[in-house]
Amino acid sequence: MELRGRTALVTGASKGLGAAIAVLLGRAGCRVGVNYAGDTAGAARTVAAVEAAGGEALALQADIADEGAVQGMVQTLQARFGTVDLLVNNARIDPYKRPADMSDLGWWNQTLAVNLTGAYICAMAVWDGMVAQRWGRIVNVSSVWAYWGASFKMLPYAVAKSGMHALTRGLATEGAPFGVTANTVAPGLIITEAIGTRLTEEQIEDAKHGVPLQRGATPEEIAEAVIFTLGSGFTTGAVLEINGGVHLGA
């Protein structure tokens, strides 16, 4: 009930987990800013799904690594729906989608810029509004990769996700006196509709076998954890791990 009537910004909500989070926020009676980078059709589908679920929604194209674009996006959202009460930093560059001609440093910089700095930029863009009204909820979507020893291939992604945990703790510390909470949700394997664009069937089966519960999560299962965290006013600086038990060992 605490979320009803609130204004939310979900980054990377054109597909996958972000779209599922946006829809559940709509079901909870929120007004949702549906951020995306380039998938206009996907964002439009999410807006329609949020509205069908009973919420209001606005598609907002912005590269979250671009501070000016993010500030413009937040202004547009606030002009339509009022102060942003809830921020879900969900957008990411997919670690499996490195362009073949990109240098190691170029990929490192791009991954960190979107997957970590982008979350910081978005938090700063909504911060003053949350502090002024002495109420705000921020959830950063991390990954089990924040904990794992990464191959070079996954290293920029893992570092960005690990950094998100420190970002959460800092935001939680700064926000606590003002009623602003910040938490991390760290999922494991999620079976989104796009998973087939980066993993083969065989790789997906292998990944499932590495999960003690022997499956990946649905986007809705992780979205429910995000909604729970957004609604839990006494939880801050915490990490909600939802991964089918991958840290249990063999």
Q: Smallest distance from the beta carbon of 41 to ligand NAP, in angstroms? A: 9
Q: Does 35 bind ligand NAP (CB under 6 A)?
A: yes
Distance CA 39, CA 41 (A): 6
Q: Which region, judged by CB under 6 A, interacts with ligand NAP, from 1-9, 126-134, 190-198, 233-241? A: 190-198
Angle subtended by helix axes 118-133 and 155-175, to nearest 10: 10
Q: Does 112 bind ligand NAP (CB under 6 A)?
A: no
Q: 131 or 238: whose CB is closer to ligand NAP?
A: 238
Distance CA 17, CA 92 (A): 11
Q: Smallest distance from the beta carbon of 11 to ligand NAP, in angstroms? A: 6
Check: CB of residue 31 under 8 Å from CB of residue 6. yes
Q: Does 59 bind ligand NAP (CB under 6 A)?
A: no
Distance CA 44, CA 23 (A): 12
CA–CA–CA angle 90, 95, 100 (5° rounding): 140
Q: 18 or 175: whose CB is closer to ligand NAP?
A: 18
Residue of the chain from 84, 138, 141, 225 that contacts ligand NAP (CB under 6 A):
141
Distance CA 20, CA 222 (A): 9
Q: 64 or 180: whose CB is closer to ligand NAP?
A: 64
Among residue numbers 61 through 100, which ones bind ligand NAP (CB under 6 A)?
63-65, 90-94
Q: Which region, judged by CB under 6 A, interacts with ligand NAP, from 1-9, 32-40, 71-79, 131-139? A: 32-40
36 an active-site residue?
Answer: no
Q: Where does this chain bind ligand NAP (CB under 6 A)?
A: 11-18, 35-39, 42, 63-65, 90-94, 114, 141, 143, 187, 189-190, 192, 194
- Any idea which residues carry the catalytic annotation? 157
